[in-house]
Structure 1
Amino acid sequence: MKNSLLLILVFLLLASCGTLSRKRNSQTASYQSTDIEETSKNASPKLVVGIVVDQMRFDYLTRFKSRYGNGGFNRLIENGFQLTNNHYNFVPTYTAPGHASIYTGTSPMNHGIIGNNWYDKFENKVIYNASDNDYESVGSSNDDGKMSPRRMLTTTVTDQLELHTQGKAKVIGVSIKDRGAILPAGHAADAAYWFEGGDAGNFISSTFYMQELPQWVKDFNALKKADDYLSSWNTMYPIESYVASGTDRNAFEKPPRGKETAVFPYDLNKLRSQNGNYSLIKSTPYGNSIVADFAIEALKKESLGKDAITDFLAISFSSTDYIGHQYGVNSIEIEDTYLRLDQEIERLLMTLDQEVGKSNYTVFLTADHGAVNNPAYLQSNRINAGYFDRAAFRDQLEEALKSQYGSVDLISNISNGQIFLKRDTILKNNLSAKAVEDFIAYTIIDYKHIDKVYTRNALMSGAMQDGTGKLIQNGFHHKRSGDVIYVLEPAVISYSKTGSTHGSSQSYDTHVPLLFYGNGIKKGSSNARTEIIDIAPTISSLLGISFPNGATGNPIKEIFNK
């Protein structure tokens, strides 16, 4: 009896242990399953694609929304996260400072790219933001490839990705413009490619990145795709359907050379000989098309997003800027360009779905600046606007300085709304730099169309708390910027009477789109204010890497799905 009871107890104990063991195994499996699910959910994307649309105002998303398809801009808006109140936090709002700020997470006061071109007081000449005579062109027989990002003083998010992965990440920049490819790609990039116009019609690079173009780039160039695009440009849809824009025939647009009026259609094959041959493609929607072609080829041939290490493809669509400058914000040409760009973005996203996988990539889309409506057009609608004559301004200022200080020449350069003084001449004549700055400020504030003035002394000695002064200070680099900064009235530009431009602190230049989509990004939208310098810290947070070393922006936490 005792033996029988003992056997029963042993059996029950073993059964109990087995049940407990199975529960533990089941719980462990459950935890492992959850961990795997969370790891999959929270894994870094295999590829980040940064898209910058040159001169894209925020309202191009809303103005043309009903005409966009479901697979381009609207796919990003409806299935990603949109920040509707995104602004530049500095001036000047130009291409080079814009691209640099997007990718460094800071403003020109730190990264040093204060313009597309600026006066270098040490070299006593105007310099280009990416020019670098220490390097040679690759794929070109001229100087279009003598470029590098070395004037950008801080790192980019792309640099930090390369550092984090010990150079195993692949980073490539692509654009029509050299600066649109070089500055986003950063210092440690594998490659940056841009389009050489003229009689070449090729994508080229610099010895900063490589000694020879990869074979796939040579093969792409050999196809001469630009010839296929340079046939004709007519509207995608019946021209009467373009009701979101002004009339086709008006006085506010500049026609290409060889055409009397800026009206559709454009015979590109006929016009190319008078408009720089292959350079003509830049000011047509097909400049965006060939950039999309090249970016997709880079994606495939470089096997981007094919392994566990995150890669980065930085794309800048620049033809929107050329077209905006020539035809203006309110033109049918701009509307047609964005309808076509919408299709190119759809094509890019579909390729990413196929090549990388829908859940394996993250995209952000923004712009390097906006643009002002043509002032003559605004005036025709009784809105305050105008034109500023820089040459007459300089003559007037020099006369005032001559009256105050005699025949001493005190001005080195006036550009980008900045007045550079001859510091050595000021010292030689025992003048006070502060006194000269103050005299200029008090004098020019009375000039027509000048709205505000800031001196070097004021910008360096105190912190501007808000408004235009804060934007000026964020764009002011202590070593590289000028001595007096002037701001024009709203909608007043120094430009031709046709087309549009940008560069100001006004919302039409600072307010730009910001969309995030894909891996790690939830669906939604917010009208809380964000700034362009928040993009790089946001992507850095998504990837779990260090912020760029000069970053002053903050991660946009609400976009994350984790």
Structure 2
Amino acid sequence: MKKFFFTLLLMLFFRGFSQEKPKLVVGIVVDQMRYDYISRYYSDFEDGGFKRLIEEGFLYRNAHYNYMPTKTGPGHASIFTGTTPARHGIIGNDWFVPSINRRFNCVEDTASSVVGGVSNGAVSSRNLKATTITDELRLYYNFTSKVIGVSLKDRGAALPAGHNPTGAYWYDLQSGNMITSTYYRDELPSWVDAFNKENRPSAFLSNKWELFRDEEVYNESIEDENPYEQELRKGLGVSFPHDLPKHKKDLSLLKYTPFTNTLIKEFSMKAVVEEEMGLDSIPDFLTMSFSATDDIGHRFGPRSVEVQDTYLRLDRELSEFLSFLDDTIGKNEYVVFLSADHGATDVPSYMYKNKMPGGYHNNGFIKSLLNDGLGEVFGEGKWISSIINEQIYLNHELISEKGANTDEVKQKTIEILMGEDYVYEAFDANLVAKRMFTDPLLIKLQNGYENKRSGDILYVLTPSDLNDSWGRQGTDHRSPYTYDTHIPIIFFGKGIKPGKTVRPVSITDIAPTLSMLLDISLPSMSNGQPLKELFE
């Protein structure tokens, strides 16, 4: 009873300060969404999805990531903290930790375990050094504001939801359940259990993935059957229709289909209803990360029919979700923003075939090349501990054992790297951290460097060059180039006037904009600027 009256008093206290605030904020991140997908597919979109967001909302046409590597973990962290990896500490999906001599996942938390599934549960946001906009909302309203993060990927749920949300849920590739970890709660809410019992993943995999629209609609893509794509599974081929029932018992296959977006939409709608979000004057926050676009993009590449089909289907999902918000929360009672965590390069073999810059290298070859080259000067040994995120971690134990000079080892490493055609630039990380740069590429390199987690040498590849250790079909992302950095930012809903601008803005501007819209504190390390057009 005391808790009830305390909550009631809080609601009455904050009511006078929140009349103009949205009842619900929805942050949508579309994984690997290049900006040009909007213009390329626009004529094929329906009226209620992307077109509604753009025509009734405000579109930033020249929004970019301001750091490298452009990866999923750093992207989600940067959107919701309003700062770059140099500050929030999420420098990649993984990074190398010398003290344990292995790669470490950005949301890895060995103190936590899975709840509701069988795998992928040692997860939390502990590794995130800054508060998020969702954290600040929880703090402002003394944890009465509800915050829920939903994603196919663990990092797509944990990082946006912040350090102490109402809940964070992601997909377990083995059980097919939406799960969480003991960091967040000890058991799933009853509504999540009920959702899992519907066994939606098995239902999705019981049907073929066929074209969503008539074949002639897909003229923005290259031929469906082409040599630039990877099979979803052996025997499924690279063209439509994709016979998913052949592998329907493999629930991990779902992530390579557009139906995971349907799953995330349905689960998010259930969360809004069951958690009673957006029903009072204290704003709530739902974060949604659509990841099928990334997994399909990796397999098939940006020019594929599969990617276009996925976006046409996502357009329908967005239309249905916005209609749901209209009916459940009320028109003009909520705010939605939509952006992406990174873009993607065209498939290098496709670029090369069409006389465009593009190529491949191999990280294993680079490691051997460096070990051999350094060995000739400083003595034989495994001089390179790891190569990840275009960062090289030197073996400092060996440097000490051999009595070598660290700066000399670094300079020789850079010299060897710069002898390779596919390496555009290479730098001593310490020098990058200490200097003031005006070159935009070097600024991005600096913004991605974190003193305690990053490697010793930072390097940049030539445009559209990828590591071929996983094959020469499909694509990837991580570079400072525009195909990876140029993404959409759209704001829509309560108080947002329609418009567009080509003014350059950064991904780190989203969180401070939300702070101003909600009239709450900025995230602790935020250094972006509010998007001024929304307040004019």
TM-score calculated relative to the size of structure 2: 0.95
Distance 1:258 1:406, change over 3 A: closer
**Which residue of structure 2 aligns with residue 557 of structure 1?**
532
Structure 1 counterpart of 2:289, which letter? S
Structure 1 counterpart of 2:192, which letter? V
1:419 counterpart SS class: strand
- Equivalences for 1:54-133 in 2 at 5 Å? 54-133=31-110
Q: Is 2:488 the partner of 1:513?
A: yes
Query: Conserved in 2, the CA contact under 8 Å of 1:41 and 1:520?
Result: no
1:268 Cα deviation after fit = 1.1
**Which residue of structure 1 aligns with residue 186 of structure 2?**
211
Q: Is 2:156 the partner of 1:180?
A: yes
Q: Is 2:122 the partner of 1:149?
A: no
2:449 counterpart SS class: coil
Aligned partner of 1:164 among 130, 140, 152: 140
Question: Equivalents in 1 of 2:213, 2:197: separation in Å?
Answer: 32
Query: Conserved in 2, the CA contact under 8 Å of 1:121 and 1:480?
Result: no
1:85 counterpart SS class: strand
Query: Conserved in 1, the CA contact under 8 Å of 2:298 and 2:475?
Result: yes
**Which residue of structure 1 aligns with residue 499 of structure 2?**
524
Query: Conserved in 1, the CA contact under 8 Å of 2:125 and 2:159?
Result: yes
**Which residue of structure 2 aligns with residue 475 of structure 1?**
448
Question: Equivalents in 1 of 2:153, 2:255: separation in Å?
Answer: 9
Aligned partner of 1:461 among 420, 434, 437: 434
Deviation per CA, 1:200-250, whole angstroms, max 9, x where unpaired? 111000111111101110110011112222111110122232100000111
Deviation per CA, 1:457-489, whole angstroms, max 9, x where unpaired? 311321222321110100000110000011110
Aligned partner of 1:425 among 383, 398, 420: 398
Q: Is 2:398 the partner of 1:440?
A: no
**Which residue of structure 2 aligns with residue 347 of structure 1?**
320
Query: Conserved in 2, the CA contact under 8 Å of 1:165 and 1:309?
Result: yes
1:271 Cα deviation after fit = 2.8
**Which residue of structure 1 aligns with residue 4 of structure 2?**
none
Distance 1:41 1:214, change over 3 A: closer
Structure 2 counterpart of 1:114, which letter? I
2:295 counterpart SS class: helix
Structure 2 counterpart of 1:331, which letter? S
**Which residue of structure 1 aligns with residue 168 of structure 2?**
192
Question: Equivalents in 1 of 2:198, 2:535: separation in Å?
Answer: 41
Aligned length: 518
Question: Equivalents in 1 of 2:371, 2:400: separation in Å?
Answer: 19
2:248 counterpart SS class: helix
Query: Conserved in 1, the CA contact under 8 Å of 2:60 and 2:501?
Result: yes
Aligned partner of 2:360 among 387, 390, 396: 387
Query: Conserved in 1, the CA contact under 8 Å of 2:18 and 2:281?
Result: no
Query: Conserved in 1, the CA contact under 8 Å of 2:68 and 2:444?
Result: yes
Structure 2 counterpart of 1:307, which letter? D
Query: Conserved in 2, the CA contact under 8 Å of 1:232 and 1:265?
Result: yes
1:326 Cα deviation after fit = 0.6
1:442 Cα deviation after fit = 2.0
1:408 Cα deviation after fit = 4.2
**Which residue of structure 2 aligns with residue 251 of structure 1?**
227
**Which residue of structure 1 aligns with residue 7 of structure 2?**
none
**Which residue of structure 1 aligns with residue 200 of structure 2?**
225
Structure 1 counterpart of 2:106, which letter? N
**Which residue of structure 1 aligns with residue 331 of structure 2?**
358
Deviation per CA, 1:332-352, whole angstroms, max 9, x where unpaired? 000000000000001110010
Question: Equivalents in 2 of 1:133, 1:348: separation in Å?
Answer: 35
Q: What is the RMSD of the two structures over their aligned residues, measured on CA atoms?
A: 1.4
Structure 1 counterpart of 2:435, which letter? G
Runs of 4 or more, structure 1, over 4 Å off, are: 39-42
Question: Equivalents in 2 of 1:260, 1:316: separation in Å?
Answer: 27
Greater shift after overlay, 312-321 or 391-400? 391-400
2:120 counterpart SS class: helix
- Equivalences for 1:272-283 in 2 at 5 Å? 272-273=248-249, 277-283=250-256
1:398 Cα deviation after fit = 1.1
1:71 Cα deviation after fit = 0.5
Query: Conserved in 2, the CA contact under 8 Å of 1:86 and 1:531?
Result: yes
Unpaired segments of 5 or more residues in structure 1? Answer: 1-38
Question: Equivalents in 2 of 1:193, 1:271: separation in Å?
Answer: 25
Query: Conserved in 1, the CA contact under 8 Å of 2:367 and 2:384?
Result: no
Question: Equivalents in 2 of 1:136, 1:41: separation in Å?
Answer: 38
1:503 Cα deviation after fit = 0.7
Query: Conserved in 1, the CA contact under 8 Å of 2:35 and 2:487?
Result: yes
Greater shift after overlay, 258-267 or 53-62? 258-267
Question: Equivalents in 1 of 2:108, 2:434: separation in Å?
Answer: 32
1:48 Cα deviation after fit = 0.3
Aligned partner of 1:261 among 207, 232, 237: 237
Aligned partner of 1:319 among 280, 284, 292: 292
2:169 counterpart SS class: strand
Deviation per CA, 1:312-365, whole angstroms, max 9, x where unpaired? 000000000010001111000000000000000011100100110111100000
Question: Equivalents in 2 of 1:314, 1:218: separation in Å?
Answer: 20
Question: Equivalents in 1 of 2:376, 2:154: separation in Å?
Answer: 44
1:264 Cα deviation after fit = 0.6
Unpaired segments of 5 or more residues in structure 2? Answer: 1-15
Greater shift after overlay, 412-421 or 364-373? 412-421
Structure 2 counterpart of 1:62, which letter? S
Question: Equivalents in 2 of 1:533, 1:420: separation in Å?
Answer: 28
Greater shift after overlay, 222-231 or 88-97? 222-231
Deviation per CA, 1:181-204, whole angstroms, max 9, x where unpaired? 000000011100001122x11100
1:260 Cα deviation after fit = 5.4
Query: Conserved in 1, the CA contact under 8 Å of 2:379 and 2:402?
Result: no
1:41 Cα deviation after fit = 11
Percent of aligned pairs with the same residue? 42
**Which residue of structure 2 aligns with residue 338 of structure 1?**
311
1:375 Cα deviation after fit = 0.7
Question: Equivalents in 2 of 1:425, 1:367: separation in Å?
Answer: 41
**Which residue of structure 1 aligns with residue 347 of structure 2?**
374
1:144 counterpart SS class: coil
1:59 Cα deviation after fit = 0.5
**Which residue of structure 2 aligns with residue 28 of structure 1?**
none
**Which residue of structure 2 aligns with residue 548 of structure 1?**
523
